[in-house]
Amino acid sequence: MTLLYRGKIALVIKIILLAVASAILLMLAQSAFAQKEYAISAFLLISVLAMNYVYLTSRSVPFKFFLPGTIFLFAFVLAPIIFTVVMSTYNYKTGNYISKQEAIERVIALGVEPDEAGTTFDIVVGKTSAGELAILASDVATPQYFISTKTKRIDLVSTDLTLNAYGVATTAPNFTRTSISDLTGNQDYTKIKYLYSDSYFISIEGQDVGAVFRQTLKYEPSTDTFRNLINGTIYRDNGKGNYADSKKQILEPGWRAPTWFSNYAKLITDDHVRGPFIRVFIWTVIFAVLTVLTSFGFGLLLALALNKPLRGRRMYRSILILPYAMPSLMSILIWAGMFDTEFGAINNILNTHIAWFSNANFARSAVILVSLWLGFPYFYLISTGALQAIPTELTEAAAIDGASGRQVFSKITLPLLLQILSPLLIASFAFNFNNFNLIYLLTGGGPRDQLGGEIAGATDILISYTYQIAFGSNVQDLGLASAISVIIFFLVAGISLYGLRKSKVLETFE
C-alpha cells in the first residue's frame, strides 16, 4: 500500500500517467489551434503546464488535490458561465451565427445574379495544358464552344473538337478532361468563377452544367462596406451584425456581433419579448410556490398522521416514498401518457374527454398535480425528521399548561418546524424554479399558439422558455436565451443565498 504513494514504482506510474495525459492534451491543443479555436487551445496548454508543475514539484500540496477538479470545473462549468454572459451581449442567432469574416465571404458568394437570358452551357471539367483548372463549355444551339479558366477564355471552333451525340464537346486541344472519380471529393473546381465576359462569369451548377452570372455585390475592405455594382447602393456595418443600406435593408447572412445590453434592453422595451417574458416569469413563480406549498402541505400532513406508532406504518412509509425513489424522468413520461386525451387513464376514470394539454388552465393543473406527486414524499421525509427533532418537553409543557392539540400544533410545533425546514423549502423553491424536465417532458411548455408565432407556452417556465428560444423555434436566438439565463441565475443565486443565510442563522442557534 505504501508503494502507491511513496517509492520508485509510484514515481514511475506518476510520470507515465502525466506523460500520457500531457501528450493527449497537447495533441488536442494543437488541433484546436489549427482550427483557430485559440481560447480552447490556450486553456488546454495551461492545463498541461499546471499539471506538470503541480505534480512534478512540491511547491503546492493543496493543488495536488485540487487540480483535476479545478480543470473540470473550469472547463465545463465556469467557462460555459462566462461564455453565457458573453453570448448574452451578442446578437447571436440564426442569420447571425457565423464570424464576420465568414459572413463577408458568404455575402460575396451570394451577391451574384444570372444574366438576363439565364444563359447556361454544357460543360466538361478538366485542366489546360498549363495545369490550370478549366471548363470546356458548349452551347449546342448556337453552336458555340470555348475553354474558360479563372482568368482567360479561349474560343474554339467545332472542327478542333470531339463532339458527342448531342453535340457537346468532350475533348479539345490543350485540354485534359478530369475523370469523374477524381472530381468526387474534390470541391475546389466548383468554387472557381470561370471567365465569361468582362463582368460575367460561369459558375458550375451541377455535374455538367454551368450558368452565367455576374457579381452584384463587391466588398471594399478599406471602408468595410459592400457596394452594389449595378445601382451603386452602399451597405455599411450597422453595428448589429449586418451590412445595411440607408433604408435599413440588410444583406444576409449577418454575423455574431457584440451589441452590449441590447438583449437585456429587448426584455424591457420590445413588446414582443417583454409580454411573453413577464407572463412566463409570473407563471414560474406561481408554479414554484404552489409546488412547494402543496408538496409541503401534504408531506407535513402525512408526517403528522404517521408520527406515532400505527399499524402498517412501515408499509405506508415504503409506499409513500415510491414516487421519490422512481427515476423522475420515467414518472413524468408515465404521467404524460395518463393525461392523453384519447387513451389516457385520467379521462378514462373521470369518464371525460378533456384535451388536458390543449387548454392552458387544464395543462397548468396537470403540471401542479404531477409536481405534487413528485414532491410530497420528499417533504414527508424531511418533515418526519424535523418533527422528531422537536423536543417533546416543549409540547408536553404546553399540554400541561392546558393548550389544546390544535394550539400546540399552531403555536409550537409549526413555527419550530418552519424554522428548521425553511432552508430546505427555499432550496426546493429554487429547484422547482428550474424544473425543466417536468415541464418539457409533461407538456412541452404548451399549449402555445404556434401558428401565431408564439414561442412562450402557457406552462412554460423561464428555463423551458429559454430552451425554446435557443433551440425550439425557427429562429434560434442564443443571445436572448443567454440573457434570460443570466437573469435566472441572479434570481436563483439570490434565493439560494437567502436560504443559506437562514440555515447559518439556525446553526448559530444550536
Partner 1 sequence: MNKWLKENLWRHVVALGMSFFALFPLYLVVISSLNPTGSLQLTSFIPREISWNNYKLLFDSPAIPYLTWVKNSLVIAGAVAVISVFIGASSAFAFSRLRFRGRKTGVQILLLVQMFPAILALSAVYVIMERVYRFAPSLGLGSQTGLLLVYLGGAMGVNIWLLKGFVDSIPIELDEAAKIDGASPMQTYWLIFIPLAAPVLAVVSLLSFIGTLNEYIMARLFLVEMDSRTVAVGLQQFIGGQYSQNWGPFAAGSILLSIPIVVIFLSLQRYIVSGLTAGSVKG
CB of residue 320 to partner 1, shortest distance in Å = 6
**Cβ contact 146:137 at 8 Å:** yes
Is the sign of the CA dihedral 434, 436, 437, 442 positive or negative? positive
Complex with partner 1: residue 203 or 437, whichever CB lies closer:
437
Q: How far is the CB of 40 from partner 1 (least distance, A)?
A: 7
Q: How far apart are CA 419 and CA 430, in angstroms?
A: 18
- Residue number, 282 or 322, with CB nearest to partner 1: 322
Residue 206: all three cell numbers together:
451541377
**Contact (CB, 8 A) for 328 and 437:** yes
Is residue 366 a contact partner of residue 357, using CB atoms and an 8 Å limit? yes
Q: Quick one: 109 or 305, whose CB is closer to partner 1?
A: 305
394: its cell numbers? 416543549
DSSP 3-state assignment of 396?
A: helix
Contacts of 144 (CB under 8 A, 6+ apart): 138, 155
Rounded CA-CA distance 76/97 in Å is 22
Q: How far is the CB of 127 from partner 1 (least distance, A)?
A: 32
Site for partner 1 in 400-429 (CB under 8 A): 423-424, 427-428
126 vs 377 by CB, closer to partner 1: 377
The reply to whether 5 sits near partner 1 by the rule CB under 8 A is: yes
Cβ 47 to partner 1 shortest distance, Å:
13
Based on CB atoms, which residue is closest to partner 1, 109 or 322? 322
CA distance 55 to 63: 9
- What the block records as the C-alpha cell of 429 is 423553491
| Contact status: 37 vs partner 1 (CB under 8 A) | yes
Rounded CA separation 368/366 (Å): 5
In the complex with partner 1, the residue whose CB is nearer, 200 or 489, is 489
Contact flag: residue 31 with partner 1 (CB under 8 A): yes
Binding of residue 28 to partner 1 (CB under 8 A): yes
The interface region with partner 1, picked from 33-41, 157-165, 227-235, 266-274 by CB under 8 A, is: 33-41
Task: Say how many Å lie between the first and final Cα of the chain, rounded.
Answer: 42
Find the part of the chain contacting partner 1 (CB under 8 A) among 34-42, 48-56, 130-138, 449-457.
Answer: 34-42
* Piece of the chain touching partner 1 by CB under 8 A; list 24-32, 122-130, 171-179, 191-199: 24-32
Rounded Cα gap, residues 169 and 123, in angstroms: 8
Whole-number Å distance between alpha carbons of 173 and 160:
7
Out of 230, 500, 505, 506, the residue judged to bind partner 1 by CB under 8 A: 500
Q: Site mask, partner 1, residues 363-402, x = CB under 8 A? A: ----------x--xxx--xx--x-----------------
Residue from the set 21, 75, 183, 399 that interacts with partner 1 by CB under 8 A: 75
Select the span of 113-121, 178-186, 336-344, 408-416 touching partner 1 (CB under 8 A). 336-344
CA distance 100 to 430: 39
Query: Of 106-114, 193-201, 224-232, 459-467, which part binds partner 1 (CB under 8 A)?
Result: 459-467
How many degrees, rounded to 5, is the angle at CA 50 between CA 47 and CA 53?
Answer: 150
Distance of CA 323 to the CA centre of its chain: 30
Site for partner 1 in 274-333 (CB under 8 A): 298, 301-302, 305-306, 308, 310, 312, 316, 318-331, 333
Spatial neighbors of 476 by CB under 8 A, at least 6 apart, are: 93, 94, 97, 469, 470
- Binding partner 1 (rule: CB under 8 A), the pick from 18, 21, 26, 40 is 40
Residue number with CB closer to partner 1 (210 or 375): 375
Rg of the chain (C-alpha set): 35
Which stretch in 231-239, 244-252, 274-282, 433-441 sits in contact with partner 1 by CB under 8 A? 433-441
358 near partner 1 (CB under 8 A): no
Gap between the Cα atoms of 302 and 374, Å rounded:
15
Q: Report the distance separating Cα 325 and Cα 266, nearest Å.
A: 43
Stretch that binds partner 1, among 111-119, 180-188, 230-238, 494-502 (CB under 8 A): 494-502
Residue 126 backbone dihedrals phi, psi, to 5 degrees: -170, -155
How is residue 179 annotated by DSSP? P
Q: Tell me how far, at minimum, the Cβ of 394 lies from partner 1, in Å.
A: 21
Among 18, 79, 133, 163, binds partner 1 (CB under 8 A): 79
Residues 82-141 that bind partner 1 (CB under 8 A): 83-84, 87
CB of 54 to partner 1, least distance (A): 12
